Amino acid sequence: MNSNVSRAAHIFAITSVLIVVLIWSGYLVSTSARRRMDELSRKLAARATHETLTGLPNRDLFYDRLSQSISAARRKRQRIAVFYMDLDGFKAVNDTYSHHVGDATLREVARRFRANVREMDTVARLGGDEFTVIMPIIDSLEAAGIVAGRIIKALTEPFDLSGRQGQVSASIGISLLPAQADNANQLLHNADVAMYHAKRQGKANFQFYAPDLEAHVQ
């Protein structure tokens, strides 16, 4: 009798341990699966809002943040600056070397752009070699000009082009709200117009939007 009881207790103990192990294993598998799903969800969300080459916000996220910045600026009676930036001579990099080198150059350009704006600012890539910056709070034209000058200077450092040193510069157009625009599309359009004027002025410089630039661009 005692032997039977002892054997039953032993079997019960082993069974309990096995059940605990199975439950714990199931918990670990479930936790691991949840982590993988969470990571996949984060990656999919990032792909929807950030472009894959540079990791910068894409056009959709750019417009979303610009709309939020405009709403906040109107409430607080603040100013916003938008930069439209186009790389000078980038087509020659792709044609002379390769698209692989061109992609590496774009990633380095994006890194330098991010390093020369404030944490609150948004650097986005609209496509190709076109980038934008949203400065949601700006005190003056001079303050915007200082940041633009810093970006241009950052690009003067040579780029590694397949083992050779090369130069890539940027022409920057700047538009401000509410002084020169009152909505997102107009802000971007005006900055684009000013950017084309910067190219006409010799490239590797920045220009502020002015209404009389429209005729020159057209």
Annotated catalytic residue 38: no
CA angle at residue 87 from 176 to 92, to 5 degrees? 165
pLDDT tens figures, 171-215: 999 999 998 888 999 999 999 999 999 999 999 999 999 988 887
- Please say whether the beta carbons of 163 and 104 come within 8 A: no
- Strand pairing report for 80-88 and 122-127: unpaired
**How many residues comprise the chain?**
218
CA distance 72 to 67: 9
- Please say whether the beta carbons of 173 and 84 come within 8 A: yes
Return all residues near 53 (Cβ < 8 A) that are at least 6 apart: 103, 106, 107, 125
Q: Which of 60, 129, 182, 212 is catalytic?
A: 129
- Please say whether the beta carbons of 196 and 85 come within 8 A: no
Provide the pLDDT for residue 174: 97
2-11, 82-91, 138-147: least confident range: 2-11
CA distance 157 to 159: 7
How crowded is residue 133: how many other Cβ atoms within 10 Å of its Cβ? 26
For the CA atoms of 61, 132, 160, 156, the dihedral, rounded to the nearest 10 degrees, stands at -150
- The pLDDT-based confidence of 161 (bands split at 50, 70, 90) is confident
pLDDT tens figures, 15-47: 666 666 666 666 666 666 667 666 655 555 556
- The pLDDT-based confidence of 103 (bands split at 50, 70, 90) is very high
Which of 188, 202, 212 is CA-nearest to residue 70? 188
